[in-house]
Amino acid sequence: MTKKEKTSNAVQILHERYVKDDPARRASVEAERVSAQVARTIYERRTEAGLTQKELAELVGTTQSVISRLEDADYEGHSLSTLTRIAKALKQKLTVVMTAEDAEAGEMPAAAG
């Protein structure tokens, strides 16, 4: 029997404690990761363009509060049409990628230190 290595990596500890091999929890973590990535991308592209949320909203034809929601990692209502309008307003190309599921997809990466 091998002794389990101890770690002080909080992400690994939480992942081991709450996610482990539970498929539903793995799916939930992955959904949250995607939402956070979309929100972060919108924020980064907007700020790189030197635009405020209100200015981007005017270009997209929506309100500042909608842009604020889209930049919130907890928001789950991203629509392809809205993302396409935002990309166009920012002179960007929207690309959607699908990849095969694999055993490693739900693993939390070890923090670089």
Q: And the tokens for 53?
A: 């949320």
Tell me the pLDDT of the chain averaged across its residues. Answer: 84
Residue 72: per-residue pLDDT: 96
What is the rounded CA–CA span in Å between residue 95 and residue 29?
Answer: 22
At 6 the pLDDT is 79
**20 within 8 A of 13, measured Cβ to Cβ:** no
Q: Mean pLDDT, to the nearest integer, of 7-20?
A: 77
Q: Whole-angstrom Cα distance, residue 104 to residue 107?
A: 5
The tokens describing 67, both together, are 């842009």
For residue range 52-106, list pLDDT tens digits in order.
Answer: 999 999 999 999 999 999 999 999 888 999 999 999 999 999 998 888 876 454 4
At residue 2, the pLDDT reads 54
Longest CA–CA span in the chain (Å) reads 63
Q: Look up the CATH number of domain 22-89.
A: 1.10.260.40
